[in-house]
Structure 1
Amino acid sequence: MKKKVLSVILSVAMVAALLVGCTTKSPVKEDEKDAEKKDSYKVGVTIQSLENDYWAGVFGEVEKMLKDKGWDYTIVDCKDNSATQISQIENFITAGCDLIMVHPSDPDAVEDVCKQALDAGVKVMCWDDKMENTTANWVLDNTELGITIAKPAADFINEHYSADNKAEVCVIGYPQTPILLERENGILEGLKGAEGKYEVVAQIEGLEANDAQTNVETVLQAHPNCKVFVTIGAGSDIGANQALLTKYNGNIPEDCGIFSGDATEQQMRAIKSGKEASNTTVGFEGSNTRTAKACVGMYEKILNGDDFSGEKHNIFRPFVVINADNVDEYLADYDKK
């Protein structure tokens, strides 16, 4: 009888051991689970405006890359309205996003809602502004960028103008956005490289191409000899270029030029043609594709838990000056498609 009971106990023990063996996950399977989790994220992106040529181009490429990764994503713009942007961020929190990227209309206005996101366990990346309530900020030194934009303009003025024949210069900015005001002030500083050979006859607004074109046409009516335009970015470059092409019936004088930032495909093709007013543009990674790749790379670093504390909180982007000498290198990114 004792042998029979012992046999039953041993049988039960063996079955229990088998069951434990079937339900315990091996280290390899656990690793596979972690890898699967890291391969798929939910990302919410809110941009100032998708009417802007530069942002629209970059985030068109970002969308393709996120789609290829199989990530769940939403990309929206706030029409440069802070209340709309706050609501969008709140919706991203409610939707359970792993990462929110905010390109602020007004960084101060979205600090509180970004803190709510962090408190909810959502990682937050800011494009362009040095915000406090973020995981990381992807930013530019906008004063230095403005100086870099203006240096080729100053060189151009020194080549084509003199103290007795001063260049009439128009600076196109967007001062209601703090970082773009910094960029505009940098442009004014950089122009001093042609001290005594120019006069700024107009400072106008022009974030989007249509507005810039209209405002440049007004400047040209008041200052028909204004031929040097130094701008904060793509929209103002494209709008000014169209206004000048119209004024000169497509025959741009050699002492007329536009100097800008952003380096969109349209700007670079205008530079390459050699027949338009666009002369030099300063890009940040070099093309929409390169910028999108760098941006998505930032998403990955943040989601993978890279350290962005302290001095690492602000990640500064590089500049590249693009002109007729090197434009083909960057246009090649578009020609591959």
Structure 2
Amino acid sequence: MKKISALVAAGALVFGLAACSSNSSADVPDAEFTVGVTFSDLSNPVWSELVQEAQSYGAEEGIAVNYVDAKGKSADQVTQIENFIQQDVDAIIICAVESQALVDVTKKAQEAGIKVVGYTQVLENYDAQYLVDAYNTGYANGEAAANWITENYGDEEVVEWGLMDLPEFPEIIDRANGIKDAVEELAPNAELVATNSALTAEDGVKNAENFLQANPDMKMIATIGGGGAQGGNEGVKASGITDYDSFGLFGIDATEIEIQNIINGDPQKSSVSLGGGKAHGRTLIDITSDLLNDEEVEKDQYMPITVIDESNAQEYFDEHFAD
């Protein structure tokens, strides 16, 4: 076991539209291991939930977790990983801003005997990864959206829809392609008329408002993540749509706010659960702990894909979010 440096609590994440802290450490007396976590952007509500759960669950398991926010800057993330190497941590969990920018520094970490665990973005040098089956996740979202279009607007010649994507990441491009393919195949009367990037809820609000201002006949919006879905739901309502049965918004991540919106009968009609931020935080700690204890670990692991809609939203909420 490596020597564990003192870790001092420093701030907490703020959910929703507020900015997240750039650094948070946990004081875990008698911790057996230290783990550094660097995320591409903790303004994403799912990821902010994840790192907090990883920290609290890690403490239960005797693992001190220190997480930092790269805020979308790959050079800063390289520096963060170098700092973790200097701190002599036992493992580093990485949600990459840009995977190719991390080739050298992740190799350096492994050469120093540090376990490297990737999350969502594929790394070149790693000991284990927890990944999204990106295309099929997107397809599940697009299938739910297409079925809603067919059920509600199947007789119309053209149904306009918008997509909130995030083309900065190859895996998210695959997710968006899955959405588009499903809608095109299953709702041939659907016409994509607007696209824009969305990572945060703030992005989602702006996009939905802009989409509907430019395309007042739009009936559906699909998003590649929970941030855009959460904000998009509010943006649709702010645009003056009051008949929520007439508009469909479809998300991915199944955040607490998304599920509550579905239960409330808001514009959002479904979301695709990949396990949720809390579950991912625990899974990443379990994978890392197994690596550090020299247990056999499957190198590439994938998140589950489950569509959450009005038929199962309450059950999902009670299981994942109820106190």
Q: Same fold (TM over 0.5)?
A: yes
Q: CA deviation at 1:193?
A: 3.5
Alignment partner for residue 79 of structure 2, among 87, 99, 110? 87
- Once the two structures are superposed, the pairs formed by residues 141-180 of structure 1 within 5 Å of their partners are 141-162=133-154, 164-180=156-172
Q: CA deviation at 1:164?
A: 3.3
Residues 1:69 and 2:61 are matched in the alignment: yes
Alignment partner for residue 292 of structure 1, among 281, 284, 306? 281
Structure 2: distance between partners of 1:300 and 1:217:
44
Structure 1: distance between partners of 2:216 and 2:315:
35
- Structure 1 gaps, min length 5: 1-37
Contact 1:258 1:278 in 2 (8 A): yes
Structure 1 length as normaliser, TM-score? 0.83
Q: CA deviation at 1:154?
A: 0.7
Q: How many residues align?
A: 294
Q: CA deviation at 1:39?
A: 6.5
Q: CA deviation at 1:330?
A: 2.2
Query: Which residue of structure 2 lines up, in the alignment, with residue 184 of structure 1?
Result: 176
AA paired with 2:270?
T
- Once the two structures are superposed, the pairs formed by residues 250-265 of structure 1 within 5 Å of their partners are 251-265=242-256
Structure 2: distance between partners of 1:86 and 1:252:
48
Q: CA RMSD in A?
A: 1.7
- Structure 2 gaps, min length 5: 1-29
| CA gap 1:208/1:273 in 2 versus in 1, 3 angstroms | same
| CA gap 1:305/1:70 in 2 versus in 1, 3 angstroms | closer
Alignment partner for residue 220 of structure 2, among 228, 234, 242? 228
Residues 1:328 and 2:317 are matched in the alignment: no
Contact 2:164 2:207 in 1 (8 A): no
Structure 2: distance between partners of 1:152 and 1:93:
44
Indicate the SS of the match to 2:38.
strand
Q: Highest Rg: 1 or 2? A: 1
AA paired with 1:318?
P
Indicate the SS of the match to 1:226.
coil
Q: CA deviation at 1:227?
A: 1.9
Alignment partner for residue 278 of structure 1, among 247, 252, 268? 268
Structure 2 length as normaliser, TM-score? 0.86
Structure 1: distance between partners of 2:210 and 2:313:
31
| CA gap 1:182/1:320 in 2 versus in 1, 3 angstroms | same
| CA gap 1:167/1:160 in 2 versus in 1, 3 angstroms | same
AA paired with 1:62?
A
Structure 1: distance between partners of 2:134 and 2:60:
32
More helix by share: 1
| CA gap 1:95/1:157 in 2 versus in 1, 3 angstroms | same
| The 10-residue stretch of structure 1 (299-308 or 166-175) with the greater mean CA deviation from structure 2 | 299-308
